[in-house]
């Protein structure tokens, strides 16, 4: 096929007006016929990957301000007076297990395995909601003890950083319910599965951010 | 036609972030997540132990915790986000590497500048005295 194509496109020893146009037309036809470039799944997930990296940079900015201000307690309570290791351990367990079940839900969606998908998504939601609930309770306790965000620069930065992560998890919970509804209503379509891939990327990234937070904010705060 | 085949051979297929390179069965994929979960849980447990123990030299604890956090992030990236060093993950890894550069510049640059400012600034009580 290739040799005949070439002979047709460049008729040897028979140059005439039409050659240039015909060659050009042939070239465009060929380049559009050849499967090139990335699939939509790769393009979508890569774009979302870039968003997640910019989100991590946002967290880094909050984290940098916390790192600068963490010693400026203005005579108020410091991290070791406030942080409860058991609460943080419970939050970490919830989020880590939820990220495992989110991965299982992704496997279930790709395999079009309804029971695995809905079951794992439900467990992910319950654990994520438990995480947000524990965090809200922790915030309420701190504010009750007079250690609200207005107490000191340390606490302002703390509430901003942890609160930003908590808001992300809350948004993720809403997205999770949306994905369950979309799979239920529209089935395992390619575009829905792409959204599911983006959701699981988001959820796993939130867990990675939480690893930095529980280690460097809570545990270092307790140890200091 | 032949050019398209050559194209595929020269450039290995890219993978979407989060997708696994070999499309294997459900059991294999689940096993990958379970291995990652056990590793991550182990590292978390060690971190919590390090924060509460008095067995070690205390100034080393924050550094040890940072190392554990980095290790756990690596486990998450490999086992949950399926990031590999393979050619099909080059774009994903490079984007992440650039993001990491920005994060490091942001965090350490901020700490450096602010500690330098703090060091060079007049102590607050002295500044108050001069204003009187």
| CB distance A183 to A117 below 8 Å | yes
Question: How big is chain B, counted in residues?
Answer: 132
Question: B69 and chain A: CB distance < 8 Å anywhere?
Answer: yes
| CB distance B24 to B101 below 8 Å | no
Q: Write down the mean pLDDT value for chain A.
A: 87
Q: What angle do CA A112, B29, A107 make, to 5 degrees?
A: 25
What's the pLDDT at B8?
A: 46
Closest approach of A201 to chain B, Cα-based (Å): 6
Range with the poorest average pLDDT among A95-104, A123-132, B77-86, B115-124: B115-124
Question: Among candidates A142, A154, A160, A161, which has minimal Cα distance to A70?
Answer: A154
What's the pLDDT at B11?
A: 55
Q: Which DSSP letter does residue B23 get?
A: -
Interface A-B: count of C-beta contacts within 8 A: 148
User: What percent of chain A has pLDDT above 70?
Assistant: 84
Question: A171 and chain B: CB distance < 8 Å anywhere?
Answer: no
Q: Kindly indicate whether the domain formed by A40-223 is annotated with CATH number 1.20.120.80.
A: yes
Question: Among candidates A128, A135, A124, A126, which has minimal Cα distance to A88?
Answer: A135
Q: Among all chains, which residue has been given the structure tokens 């290791």?
A: A85
At residue A145, the 3 state secondary structure works out as: coil
Interface confidence, given as ipTM, is 0.85
Global pTM reads 0.84
Domain residue ranges of chain A, discontinuous segments joined by +: 2-33, 40-223
Task: Out of B2, B91, B110, name the one closest to residue A46 (CB).
Answer: B91
SS (H, E, C) chain A: CHHHHHHHHCCCCCCCCHHHHHHHHHHHHHHHHCCCCCCHHHHHHHHHHHHHHHHHHHHHHHHHHHHHHCCCCCCCCCHHHHCCHHHHHHHHHHHHHHHHHHHHHHHHHHCCCHHHHHHHHHHHHHHHHHHHHHHHHHHHHHHHCCCCCCCCHHHHHHHHHHHHHHHHHHHHHHHHHHHHHHHHHHCCCHHHHHHHHHHHHHHHHHHHHHHHHHHHHHHHHHHC
Q: Which of A215, A217, A220, A221 to mutate to test the interface with B (most CBs of B within 10 A)?
A: A215
What's the pLDDT at A36?
A: 63
**Interface touch B33/A103, C-beta < 8 Å:** yes
Instruction: Assign A5 a pLDDT band (cuts: 50, 70, 90).
Output: very low
Closest approach of A15 to chain B, Cα-based (Å): 26
Q: Among all chains, which residue has been given the structure tokens 């979407």?
A: B16
Question: How big is chain A, counted in residues?
Answer: 224
Give CA–CA dist A213/A217, Å, rounded.
5
Give CA–CA dist B64/A65, Å, rounded.
22
Tens of pLDDT, residue by residue over A12-67, are 444 444 444 444 444 444 444 445 678 999 999 999 999 999 999 999 999 999 99
């Amino acid at each position: 096929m290739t040799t005949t194509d070439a002979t047709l496109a460049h008729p040897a020893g028979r140059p005439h007006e039409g050659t240039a146009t015909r060659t050009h037309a042939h070239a465009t036809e060929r380049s559009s016929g050849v499967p090139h470039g990335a699939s939509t799944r790769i393009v979508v997930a890569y774009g979302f990957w870039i968003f997640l990296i910019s989100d991590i940079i946002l967290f880094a900015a909050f984290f940098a301000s916390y790192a600068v201000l963490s010693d400026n307690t203005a005579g108020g309570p410091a991290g070791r007076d406030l942080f409860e290791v058991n609460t943080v351990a419970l939050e970490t367990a919830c989020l880590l297990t939820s990220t495992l079940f989110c991965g299982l839900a992704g496997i279930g969606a790709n395999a079009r395995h309804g029971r695995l998908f809905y079951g794992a998504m439900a467990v992910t939601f319950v654990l994520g909601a438990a995480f947000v609930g524990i965090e809200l309770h922790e915030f309420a306790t701190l504010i009750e003890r007079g250690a609200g965000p207005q107490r000191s620069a340390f606490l302002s930065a703390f509430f901003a950083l942890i609160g930003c992560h908590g808001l992300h998890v809350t948004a993720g919970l809403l997205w999770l319910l949306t994905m369950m509804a979309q799979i239920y209503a529209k089935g395992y379509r390619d575009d829905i599965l792409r959204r599911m891939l983006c959701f699981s990327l988001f959820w796993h990234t939130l867990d990675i951010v939480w690893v930095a937070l529980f280690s460097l904010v809570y545990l270092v705060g307790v140890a200091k | 036609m032949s050019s398209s085949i050559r194209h595929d051979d020269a450039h290995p297929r890219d993978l979407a972030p989060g997708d696994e390179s070999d499309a294997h069965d459900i059991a294999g994929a689940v096993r990958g997540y379970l291995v990652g979960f056990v590793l991550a849980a182990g590292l978390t447990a060690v971190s919590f132990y390090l924060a509460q123990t008095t067995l070690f030299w205390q100034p080393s604890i924050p550094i040890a915790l940072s190392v554990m956090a980095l290790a756990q992030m690596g486990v998450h990236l490999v086992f949950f986000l399926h990031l590999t060093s393979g050619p099909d993950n080059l774009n994903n890894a490079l984007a992440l590497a650039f993001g990491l550069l920005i994060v490091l510049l942001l965090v350490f640059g901020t700490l450096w500048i602010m500690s330098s400012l703090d060091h060079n600034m007049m102590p607050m009580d002295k500044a108050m005295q001069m204003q009187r």
